[in-house]
Amino acid sequence: MKKSNFFAFIGCVFLILAACNDNEKGSTEKIDESDDLSTLVSTNKKLTEQLEDERQKIEELEEENRRLKNDILTYKQQAIETEEQHEDELALRVEIEEKLLDIFEYMHERNHDDLQTMLASNVTIDHELEALNIMEHDSGIDRTMHYLQFDPVPYIAQRGFSLVDDTHYTSDYAMYTLTDDGFQYDGGVEVVFSFEEEWKLSSIRYVQ
């Protein structure tokens, strides 16, 4: 009888130990699961922050690319406009010089009628004096400029020009004659062309 009680006691002890082991195992599993969840949350937070940083960097790169594209387009447009302006100025210089050569030729030949077609509204011809009467726009002064004499015919070289408001073109020329000793400087002439449906001579005078 005593032996049976002993075995019963031993069995209860094993059951209690087994229960304790099961409880400890369950607690450990709960702690491990909690740690895993905390680690996952922390990892997700870091990934979210990294993704946000990458997104911001991508946006900055896209904005920089847009600026670069705009700068390139602006540069190309400016280059095109500069080239077009240069071509327009070159074409205008050629046109003015051709007109000026015609004017000099008409003066040399005393061709008053054709010369009149080349003059602006503020310039008239005095046939007897063989001169131009010029009413200067800026000063209002009326002055006379005798026809240029070309004997011998001079060599003419442009020294400078300017275009104002696309309506007034001023050009400065140096005149030379060829002598036995070489080219001789004979002075300069300044001409102004004004646009009146077409370019016409509105002023001419001698300069140094």
Task: Specify the pTM.
Answer: 0.63
22 lies in some domain:
no
pLDDT of residue 13: 46
Buried b / exposed e over 38-53, threshold 16 CB at 10 Å, is eeeeeeeeeeeeeeee
142 lies in some domain:
yes
| Phi and psi at residue 167, to the nearest 5° | -125, -15
d(CA 11, CA 20): 14
Structure tokens at 188: 């300069």
> In degrees, to the nearest 5, what angle opens at C-alpha 93 toward C-alphas 91 and 98?
95
Angular region, 191: left φ>0, alpha ψ -120 to 50, beta rest: beta
Q: What is the CATH number of the domain that holds 121?
A: 3.10.450.540
DSSP letter (8 states) at residue 119 = B
Using an 8 Å Cβ cutoff, are 188 and 180 in contact? Answer: no
Using an 8 Å Cβ cutoff, are 122 and 135 in contact? Answer: yes
120 lies in some domain:
yes
pLDDT of residue 172: 93
pLDDT of residue 21: 52
d(CA 35, CA 22): 20
5 lies in some domain:
no
Which range marks the domain in which residue 185 is found?
A: 32-208
175 lies in some domain:
yes
DSSP letter (8 states) at residue 162 = E
111 lies in some domain:
yes
Averages of pLDDT over runs of 10 residues in the chain (208 residues) are 51 49 52 67 78 83 81 77 79 91 91 96 94 84 86 80 90 89 89 94 92
pLDDT of residue 204: 93
Q: How many distinct structural domains can be found in the chain?
A: 1
Largest CA distance in the chain: 167
95 lies in some domain:
yes
23 lies in some domain:
no
